Structure 1
């Protein structure tokens, strides 16, 4: 059996083995919607001029057993520009699986050597990698061949494994909140709707969702997925291509034919990734988010999904409503591999210093904030 490594510079050309890559995705349990060619091609099309794409293909004879799409990015540190390598999809992708067959693990060491030879860098960083045994086994060889490395928790994602028990009314405080949301929705005449957009309907669907998000606090703060910026086209093009493959799902609360609240998700291998939600501020009191999350549960049971997944949450103080009903959680890791090049050693040392300084800086900020609050509470004598 002949094994070889091949480099390409685009996922969008006819030379890229698209069929072989999709077959690889179907074989691997670590595949997510953000590994799909539809999403990655949209990411490539919105790369900044400063970032260059390098796609490493791993072959066993005529069988594709691995694909690692990487972007070479400038990293500005202490007035010096270094080179960092990231997985294509950064920073929007919520979860990336490393696309490599289990029987091709031995190719990772030559793959790392090939990456360092083609893209000399200070640091290779992969964000949002699930802390699964499969990924640990795949990435451990890279750790052994790095000057310094780290696998740092970036978030804990709640997930819910669907079962027939979910057809029954949920217990506890969540039941009260759901009942209240249903009563308020019924009182104003709002109805819950399920939408599976296709290649024809996805653009008007996204336009409607974008209007809701723009009117919400996310639009006001400019942090929504449809907010103006370089990533807007990526999201629209990615969801459009994924809808053509039947992977997009929407649950919305509609009032007189108008969307007033929605949850947008991606379905892949029996797992629904709850990607985004928004609601019109004048309907905030309805509690529609929890109501629509419950609709994911019932839709999943009707269609035989296995999991409802929060996709990504904040590391600290996550307010995702799936926490109320989760059956497990998935740890996301950010893997960082520092090269033995001078720039990698310097960057690694700077990072070590930052880890020492950061707790002290946080303590100082906390004390300063406390002193400021105490000073503000002191009443001034009346004149």
Structure 2
């Protein structure tokens, strides 16, 4: 494999067509591997964050592309150089874009990254956990001073089938009927939108306004929260719309959007990426109704999977749990280098792992402080 660095995904000499051909050959690729999404992420980089794109060639054929984010992060108050896959932390699931027949070259790839981007930690988040996809990361773990593989998410998924044409039973049926009745009472209606490059900006503006007025906007945790994330989403969602990968179901009342679900569509799978609603309409319970609309849409167009994209590792309240037929586990791989900074960071993390259970037990056993009389 001939390795080459490129400084931008938007550069004139970046091999866009070769990249797209490689992405299509990698079965595990997701919308977050699409060039439109990654270019949006690149356009929203903060000062101090640098992009380095590692390309691998087998003759004239592109067989590897790793867009890597190089930055400094503080751990225990000290700055360490960390390398991540571009898209962190808003990309829910990525695949390492490398041709299946190129596994033998991965040691050389890691050596190139360490030589040209000297770092303490190389961390890849939200990678699928299927055993057939672990070989590249296990090879890197063996070449690291210390490495860790840990689950970061177990996202519920639902295989869309003929059973979804029937009304669900039990408590879910009651909740759906209640939501539909309340929406009918105020005259709210569900609208499906499949935007293109020209219609996407107005749609993004409308749903961003809903999120900003929701609890996500109040707490600053939404995908549109802050100038950096807003710029990222504007560019990335426009890029995905241009590639026919953006789907949105809206709930409208008197001509304005009051709730929505945003999805990213790729290879027969709809990734349920974001949900928001105006607080004054919270009692409608529209979330399940819009999720049900995904299923109806999928039945009409032949989608195969509805995917929650990402949820909390513990205590998830995603509404797809009520329908799931399976789950996709995401792993976070951490590779600590043999540089002094990597040794120090790995030792500190190992010590924290040993200490944390004792701290948790101490906190649980400690009596609660009684208020003074």
TM-score (norm 1): 0.94
Shift of 1:367: 4.5
Alignment of 1:1-383 (within 5 A): 3-367=1-365, 371-372=368-369, 375=370
Per the alignment, in what secondary structure is the counterpart of residue 30 of structure 1? coil
Q: Deviations over 1:279-329 (max 9, x none)?
A: 111111111000000000010111111111111111121110001100101
Indicate the RMSD between aligned Cα atoms, in angstroms.
1.4
Give me the whole-angstrom Cα distance separating, in 2, the residues matched to 1:271 and 1:223: 26
TM-score (norm 2): 0.97
Give me the whole-angstrom Cα distance separating, in 2, the residues matched to 1:79 and 1:197: 45
Q: Deviations over 1:44-97 (max 9, x none)?
A: 111122111111111111111111111111122344322111111111111111
More deviation, 181-190/359-368: 359-368
Shift of 1:134: 3.1
Shift of 1:195: 0.5
Q: Which runs of 5+ in 2 are unaligned?
A: none
Per the alignment, in what secondary structure is the counterpart of residue 7 of structure 1? strand
> How many pairs were matched up?
373
Shift of 1:175: 1.0
Per the alignment, in what secondary structure is the counterpart of residue 87 of structure 2? strand
Per the alignment, in what secondary structure is the counterpart of residue 191 of structure 2? strand
Q: Which runs of 5+ in 1 are unaligned?
A: none
Give me the whole-angstrom Cα distance separating, in 2, the residues matched to 1:175 and 1:78: 49
Shift of 1:135: 2.2
Give me the whole-angstrom Cα distance separating, in 2, the residues matched to 1:220 and 1:364: 34
Give me the whole-angstrom Cα distance separating, in 2, the residues matched to 1:82 and 1:169: 53
Q: Deviations over 1:229-251 (max 9, x none)?
A: 32210011100111111110000
Give me the whole-angstrom Cα distance separating, in 2, the residues matched to 1:315 and 1:301: 29
Give me the whole-angstrom Cα distance separating, in 2, the residues matched to 1:48 and 1:150: 27
Asked whether the 8 Å contact 2:272–2:308 carries over to 1, the reply is yes
More deviation, 348-357/131-140: 131-140
Give me the whole-angstrom Cα distance separating, in 1, the residues matched to 2:249 and 2:335: 40
